[in-house]
């Protein structure tokens, strides 16, 4: 026990960048005592054990090196949480489980990241979000007064903020930062969102682009393919947001054409029809185009054609999820593989959301086709 205790204290102190003097001051002992413990010349008095564990934000069991059972428990919790998040069921129990895990595992960033994801979704389920337009303005605005009252999103931001204070991977940091910027803005904390966004790298300094420059041969080909997919998806997200929040764009043919041309760009890149995760993004482009064509282009036949393409891509996307390693095969992305289990899940209310914004005439056309019955279940 002495050996494990001394080694653990030294490991934790170095992990946190603390000096022996810092720990000694916090515990009310001499630096020589800390040095003696770490050299396995003795171990702390038992009454100091809770204070040491608290100082390093770990449990007493972890301090004594009894971590195997805890690691297995943490793994089980995270697996259950990610399953619930992917299936997008009612996440109340998942959130409660992760809140308890955050208390038990205060130094585990993945707990806070998953808690943030679960709270985001629970916030949509229990509170939702609103937006509005202003007379004489060309833009749609977030109803920040309403959105800021979403207590689940408030807690999600606190979870993400905590995760950023811990040691997390660069990829996780990017994901957390993106989520924080998005929800800061939705809730009206624009200064915080802008400040956080301004601290990030430019597009030209992104990991994806730099990796494509840093290699050659098949490795370079793979990184270039990954960069193409990621950049296409980022472009789609920005383009959809731009169209959907500017009245003079989504009410005119030009806005609808932009969505369709972007969908065709995807289909050109994935020329063999194997679009992987991008089937979802293409589906969303066509479904948005159907909304605006039906409402403002007033060509229901054309809107119906866009809907059918969106429906087709959505069905393909569902069929390839959780089917093992996905291999892209089109020329520009033929070296890219990705675990299809990591493709985002679709909510059970996916079609309900779309049907609520389609026109009655378009819904009538859709309902008349037996193939689309799932849209009304």
The CATH number for 8's domain is: 1.10.260.40
Same domain, 295 and 360: yes
pLDDT over 80 at 49, yes or no = yes
pLDDT score, position 297:
86
CB atoms inside a 10 Å sphere around CB 218: 10
Instruction: Pick the more confident residue, 25 or 86.
Output: 25
Q: Are residues 104 and 218 in the same domain?
A: no
Provide the CATH number for the domain around residue 164: 1.25.40
Domains held by the chain: number = 3
Q: Assess whether 196 and 212 both reside in one domain.
A: no
Q: Where does the pLDDT of residue 68 fall: very low under 50, low under 70, confident under 90, or very high at 90 and above? A: low
Report whether 112 contacts 174 (CB < 8 A): no
The dihedral through the CA atoms of 219, 230, 154, 185 has a sign that is positive
Q: Are residues 47 and 161 in the same domain?
A: no
Give this prediction's pTM.
Answer: 0.74
Query: Are the CB atoms for 269 and 332 separated by under 8 Å?
Result: yes
Structural domain ending residue among the three candidates 139, 174, 200: 200
Q: Calculate the CA 303 to chain-centre distance.
A: 31
pLDDT exceeds 60 at position 340: yes
Tell whether 22 and 100 lie within a shared domain. Answer: no
Question: In 3D, which of 119, 198, 127 has the Cα closest to residue 162?
Answer: 119
pLDDT digits 0-9 by tens, 84-133: 887 777 899 999 999 999 988 888 899 999 999 999 999 999 999 999 88
Q: Is there a single domain that holds both residue 225 and residue 370?
A: yes
* Residue 59 sits in the same domain as residue 138: no
Q: Do 170 and 265 fall into the same domain?
A: no
Containing 208, the helix (H) or strand (E) segment is: helix 207-213
pLDDT tens figures, 137-176? 988 899 999 999 999 999 999 999 999 998 888 889 999 9
Return the ∠ at Cα 319 (arms to 314 and 325), rounded to 5°.
Answer: 115
Same domain, 284 and 322: yes
Last residue of a domain, one of 200, 217, 244: 200
* Domain identity same for 229 and 103: no
Q: Above 90 in pLDDT, residue 227?
A: yes
Q: Cα angle vertex 53, ends 52, 58, to 5°? A: 150
- Segment 34-58 shows an average pLDDT of 85
State the average pLDDT over residues 239-256: 92
Residue numbers of the domain that contains 355: 207-377
Where residue 269 falls among pLDDT bands split at 50, 70, 90?
A: very high
For residues 80 and 126, state if they share a domain: yes
Q: Is the pLDDT of residue 357 over 90?
A: yes
User: Which among 156, 74, 82 has a CA at the least distance from the CA of 342?
Assistant: 82
| Mean pLDDT score, 331-349 | 89
Burial of 110 (0-12, 13-18, 19+ CB in 10 A): buried
Which of 200, 215, 247 represents a domain boundary (last residue)?
200
- Quick check: 74 pLDDT over 90? no
DSSP output for 17-71: T--HHHHHHHHTS-HHHHHHHHTTS----GGGHHHHHHHTT--HHHHTT--HHHH
Range 175-195 average pLDDT: 94
- 81-95, 175-189, 215-229, 249-263: segment of lowest average pLDDT: 81-95
Same domain, 174 and 187: yes
């Amino acid at each position: 026990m002495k050996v494990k205790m001394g080694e653990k204290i030294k490991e934790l102190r170095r992990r946190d960048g603390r000096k022996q003097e810092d720990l000694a001051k916090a515990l009310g002992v001499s630096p020589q005592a800390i040095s003696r413990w770490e050299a396995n010349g003795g171990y702390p008095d038992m009454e100091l054990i809770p204070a040491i564990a608290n100082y390093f934000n770990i449990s007493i069991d972890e301090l004594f090196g009894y971590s195997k059972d805890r690691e297995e428990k943490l793994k089980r919790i995270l697996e259950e949480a990610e399953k619930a998040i992917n299936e997008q069921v009612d996440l109340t129990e998942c959130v409660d489980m992760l809140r308890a895990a955050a208390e038990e595992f205060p130094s585990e960033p993945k707990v806070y990241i998953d808690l943030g994801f679960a709270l985001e979704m629970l916030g949509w389920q229990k509170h939702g979000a609103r937006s509005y337009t202003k007379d004489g303005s060309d833009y749609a605005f977030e109803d920040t007064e309403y959105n800021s009252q979403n207590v689940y999103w408030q807690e999600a931001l606190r979870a993400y903020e905590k995760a950023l204070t811990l040691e997390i991977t660069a990829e996780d940091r990017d994901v957390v930062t993106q989520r924080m910027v998005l929800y800061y803005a939705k809730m009206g904390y624009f200064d915080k969102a802008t400040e956080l966004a301004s601290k990030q790298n430019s597009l030209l300094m992104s990991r994806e682009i730099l990796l494509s420059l840093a290699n050659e041969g098949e490795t370079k080909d793979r990184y270039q393919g990954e960069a193409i997919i990621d950049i296409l998806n980022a472009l789609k997200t920005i383009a959809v947001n731009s169209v959907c929040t500017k009245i003079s764009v989504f009410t005119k043919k030009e806005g609808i054409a932009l969505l369709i041309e972007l969908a065709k760009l995807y289909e050109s890149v994935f020329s063999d029809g194997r679009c992987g995760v991008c089937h979802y993004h293409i589906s969303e482009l066509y479904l948005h185009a159907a909304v605006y064509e039906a409402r403002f282009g007033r060509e229901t036949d054309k809107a119906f054609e866009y809907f059918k393409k969106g429906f087709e891509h959505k069905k393909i996307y569902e069929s390839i999820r959780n089917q093992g390693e996905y291999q892209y095969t089109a020329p520009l992305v033929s070296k890219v593989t990705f675990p299809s289990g990591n493709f985002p899940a679709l909510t059970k209310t996916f079609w309900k959301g779309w049907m609520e914004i389609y026109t009655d005439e378009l819904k009538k056309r859709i309902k008349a086709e037996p193939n689309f019955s799932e849209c009304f279940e």
